[in-house]
Structures are given as structure tokens and as C-alpha cells.
A and B are shown apart, each in its own frame.
Chain A
Amino acid sequence: MTSAALNSAPVAAASGAGQTIFRRNLRQFASNRLAMASVGIVVLFVLLAIFAPFIAPHDPNETDLFRRLQPPAWQTGGEWAYLFGCDALGRDILSRIIYGSRISIFIGAAVIFVATTVGIAAGLAAGYFRGWVDVAISRLVDILLSFPYLIFAIGLMAMMGPGLVNIILALAYKEWVIPCRVVRGETLATRELEYVEAARALGASSGHIMVKEILPNILSPVIVVSTIRIAHVIILEASLSFLGLGVQPPTASWGSMVADGRAHILGAWWVSTFPGLAILLLVLAINVASQGLRDAFDPRFQE
């Protein structure tokens, strides 16, 4: 046969053109400057959270009643050692923001990790087995979606009591439906493709088909959605803490810092404003970065 001569040329050309679709998408993402700047901000916050004890200028829980509501450094009465001023108990606001980033980022990441894991498993099962499995999972999803998120979380927190693990559970209880619906839809479409049928024809088990054949091909949209949802979870955690149902004092959390400053907002604006800005900056950065991810990884947004 002449096939040997015929097939060597195109393969050489193809391998030179580029490696995988994933790498091409990654390159496209890297060329988006706004998204890369946002990634930079997110990385900065993560570093702050990890190295908080070395970066924070003061102990976040050390009270000093002489510095009660001390204004930020550039206002009269401020000190450069206390850049953003102090709260009603004389604690350094900058240090508390730095320590507070640990709570926000940890809870955001933990909730999304738990929710995505559960959501992928449930979505794969629903989309692959269909029938009563799908009916059971999809109805549960519908029921959970019919509750307003924050009210649902408040109810769970009231039942379980405050605490770090409980916040993660309270938020993940509902958050998993988002990846679940994405995975279910993608699985329903992917399971009908010929390469899935080919695996079945070869004698592959359902588990193999779900994990090895379907999952790698539907991961991109799941990752994109989960990144977007991290920002949402951070806001929810801040809301719970603002309402006093989140992390308990004296642990610094951005939401509870905003709540603490509420009583003094007219006289000491900085107590609420700086933690509020921190929430804004981190959430905005995550959103912009995930938009960039979506643009690069979702073929529907590519020109």
C-alpha cells in the first residue's frame, strides 16, 4: 500500500501547528491583559492569606482602647503604623483585612471544591443513567433552586449553629446544584457521541465511560462556572458574617468587619469602608478573570 508515504506528511504538519486544544486556549487566556491583571490581584490576595502572619503589621485581635476609632494614616490623628486606622476596639484594620482574606478565600475555595465534586458526581449520574436517577436528582435540584440562597443558608446556620465547617456545609448544600446542572446537560449531549458508543462497544463499564470518556470532555465549562461561582460564595459568606451568622468574633472576617463599622459609619467611615473595598476588589478580580477564562475556553465565545 502507498499509505505509508501518504500519511507521514500531514502528521508532521499537524504536530508542528500546536499541541493540544487546552494549550491553545491557555495561550488565548494569557493574551487577555485585563484578565491577567485580575489573576494578578487574585494571586496577591491568596499570597496575603497564606503569609498573613508575616505581612500583617499587627496582631489582628490585639485591642488598644487608646487607638479606638483612630483614623487612617493620611487623616489628622492617623499614624503610618496603622495605615487604614483602627476599629471601635482599637484593632488595626489593615491587619484584620489581611487575616480576613484567609476566611473569605478559604471558604470560597472549600465550598466550591465540595460543591463541584458533589455536583460532578450527581450530574454525571443523572445525565448518564437518565430514567429515575435523573428524575430524583433533577427534582432535588429544582427544590433547592426554589429557595432563595441566602434565606436557605441563614436557616441552615440557625439550625447547625455558627462555625467554619458549618458555613461551608450551609453554602455547599445549595451550591452543588450549579455544577450539577451544567454537568448533567453536558453529559446528556456527550453520552450520545460516537466515541462513547465506541467505548460501550468495546465492553467498557458505566464507571469507565463516565470518568474516562465523558468527564475529561465536559470539564472546561464546569471549571469556568465554578470560578465564577467562587466570587458569589465569597459574597454569601460576607453576608452571613455581616448578619452575625458566620465566623464568630474575634476572628476577623470581612463581612463582620463591615457590620462592626455600621454603628460608626457617620463618624468613622473607614471601619466599614476598607473591608468593603477588599470584598469589592477580590470579587471583581475573580469575576473578570473568570470571564476571561470563559472567553478562552468556551468555543461559543471565540471568533
Chain B
Amino acid sequence: MTSPAKPLLSVENLSKVYQGRQTLANRLAGVRPFSVRAVNDVSFEVRRGEVLGLIGESGCGKSTLGRAVLRLHEPTAGRVRFDGEDVTALSAGALKDMRRRMQIVFQDPYASLNPRSTVADIVGLPLRLHGLAKTTQEVRETVARILERVGLNAAHLDRYPHQFSGGQRQRIGIARALISHPEFIVCDEPVSALDVSIQAQIIQLLLELKDEMGLTYLFISHDISVIGYLSDRVAVMYLGEIVEMGPTDDVLARPRHPYTQSLMSAVPDVDAPGKHQRVRLAGELPSPLDPPKGCKFHTRCPLAIDVCRREAPISEQVAPGHQAACHRLSEDLSVRETAAGAQAR
């Protein structure tokens, strides 16, 4: 964060609340409608050309965050600035133009392609929507070029999605996201639905394309090894909040937040098999319908003390560009040692 350059994307205090409807019957019965804080007061920045990895377990709100940034899900509060422009305040027409510049690659390559459309129609859609190609011939030529770039070819133009394998479908999804030459891509778990061998190919492709086209990624994943491999910085999410964020090497090597520490301990260590000490978190992710008071992690945190149950911690700088939100940061504790101590007792 020493770079003086203006960030490409800056997210300020973004929240997304899903609110149930208040019905007359509920009002009479005195029942409040449900409300889920999927993303709670999240702030971060992504610099041009950077890959920010967003990691967290299922249901922690990382996909919602990715979609709220693109206004695919309308944010409840907060601001998203893209290249200086306030995305959250854009009119429908201006938002459409902005969509050419910010794109998304989806998780499920089977659900994200319209089964009744041909590859030429799917990948060519952005060209038509934004008037980037005038004739059908021009659309097909442009689509064929980008297909070749992602490892497919012109012979695939008139095929339907079900005629492709998962990895090929993901290539089609990537081609669709890139054809309008965007600057910023949200990769929403783009490889988690694929076989491990195919995962490596797709990650490689994404990295190559990033360098070639000068892209910036917000890369969402629950796979630490994937995030560790391709991101410059990493943000760790727990129950709708970013608990730790910093340069990837620093966060992965010296995790400060107890949640990050337990996440890291779940990664098998190839160099020292057997010696590996795993911290098992007790219980499930609490329901976002009824999040815990104070620090949201206290129900599962091995280091939790009284203050954690009362007050939410504020994010603090722990190293250059590395911040974490925990009441016990200053004590420099390790979850691993504490857990080992507890077991010994």
C-alpha cells in the first residue's frame, strides 16, 4: 500500500442486507421479518494490474461481495469507486457502459451458459449489446479470435454449451467476459467446479490473459493454495466481514487473526507430514440470520476472552500493508500453541 497510484477499484464501507418482507400477519403476531447481513461494512482497494484474493468458507458472503461490487446485487450501503467513478451512483445507462469495463467469470460453467444459445451468440453478446461490432460477420470473426486465444477455435462457433466439457465451458465463460476488453474482472470461484488438472490450465490461462490484456482481478476462492498461487494480496472473510488483509506471502506465512491461523492450519504440509498440528474449529459457521454480538468469530475462537463477546474489534495495522481485526493482536498469540496447550491440559 506504499504505491502512490490511485486504486482502480475502491470499496468503502460496503454492506449488503437481504431483508424479508414485513407481512401483515407477521406484524400482528409481532414477528420481525428476517434480515441477513451478507456483507457488513467492508472496505478494500484493488490497484490496477493487481490480483486481490478473497478467501473464506462457504456462506461467508464472498460471492455476494463480488456481485455487490458489480451492482449485480444492489448494495444496501457504502460506495464502490471504479477508476474514480462512483459505481453505486451510476444511472442505468451509465451502468450499462460501465459493465463493458467490469466483468465477471462465474463458478459453475454448467449454469452460466444459456443452454439454448450457440457459442457465437453467447460470446458475441457483449459485442452486440455495446455496439462493438456492426455485422454478424464481424461478430463471428471477433468471437473466433477470442476463442482461439482461450484455447478453443472457430469450429466451435455454432455448437451448444452441452457439447463441451466443464473446462471448455469455463473457457467460453472467460472468452465472454474478455471480449469487450474490460479492465477489471471478478473471478467468482472460477475453478472450484473443475477437476484439479483442468484447474491448473484455467488458472494459467487467467494469469496469461491478465498480463496480455492488463487486467485486474478480484479472485474469490475457498482454496488457499489457489489464492496463494495467483494473488498479490489476500483478504480473509468471515461472516460478512474482512478479518485480515495484506500481502499474500505475509498473510499466509504470518497469519495474525485466529481465524486465518486456523484456516492455514487446515492446509496439509507436504514437507513435514505427521508433524502437522491442525486446529479444529468447534461448531459451524453461525447463522447470518442471528450473528453473534461483539467479535463475530468469538463463538468458535480458541482465544476468545470477555471483551470479544461484548465489542467488535477494529481493524489495525500489524505490518506494512497488513491489517487484522482482533482484540488480542497485541499479545501476539498463536492459535496453534493455545490449542496444543489446551489439549495437553
Contacts and interface: CB of A to CB of B under 8 A. Distances in A.
Partners in one complex: yes
Interface of A: 1-4, 6-7, 10-11, 14-15, 20-21, 193-195, 197-204, 208, 212-213, 216-217
B201 A3 contact: yes
Contact of B159 (A1, A11, A195): A11
A198 B104 contact: yes
Interface residues of chain A: helix, strand, loop or mixed (majority): helix
B188 to A, nearest CB: 9
Interface residues of B, number: 44
A195 B113 contact: yes
Contact of B152 (A7, A20, A202): A7
Given A7-B165, A14-B164, A201 B104 contact: yes
A165 to B, nearest CB: 35
Interface of B: 67, 70, 72, 95-97, 99-100, 103-104, 106-108, 111-117, 125-126, 129-130, 151-153, 155-156, 159-160, 162-165, 167-168, 171, 173, 176, 180, 201, 204-205
A186 to B, nearest CB: 13
Given A212-B117, A217-B114, 19 more contacts: A1-B205, A10-B164, A11-B156, A11-B159, A20-B160, A193-B111, A194-B112, A195-B113, A197-B72, A198-B104, A198-B173, A199-B125, A201-B72, A201-B103, A202-B126, A202-B180, A203-B100, A203-B129, A208-B129
Given A4-B151, A14-B163, A203 B111 contact: no
Nearest to A3: B151
A1 B204 contact: yes
Contacts of A21: 115, 162
Contacts of B201: 1-3, 6
Given A15-B163, A21-B162, A7 B151 contact: yes
The 9 A-B pairs at the shortest CB distance, nearest first, are namely: A3-B151, A203-B99, A194-B112, A216-B116, A14-B163, A194-B111, A203-B96, A195-B114, A202-B126
Nearest to A202: B126
A275 B96 CA distance: 60
Contacts of A213: 114, 117
A197 B163 CA distance: 22
Contact of B163 (A11, A199, A208, A212): A11
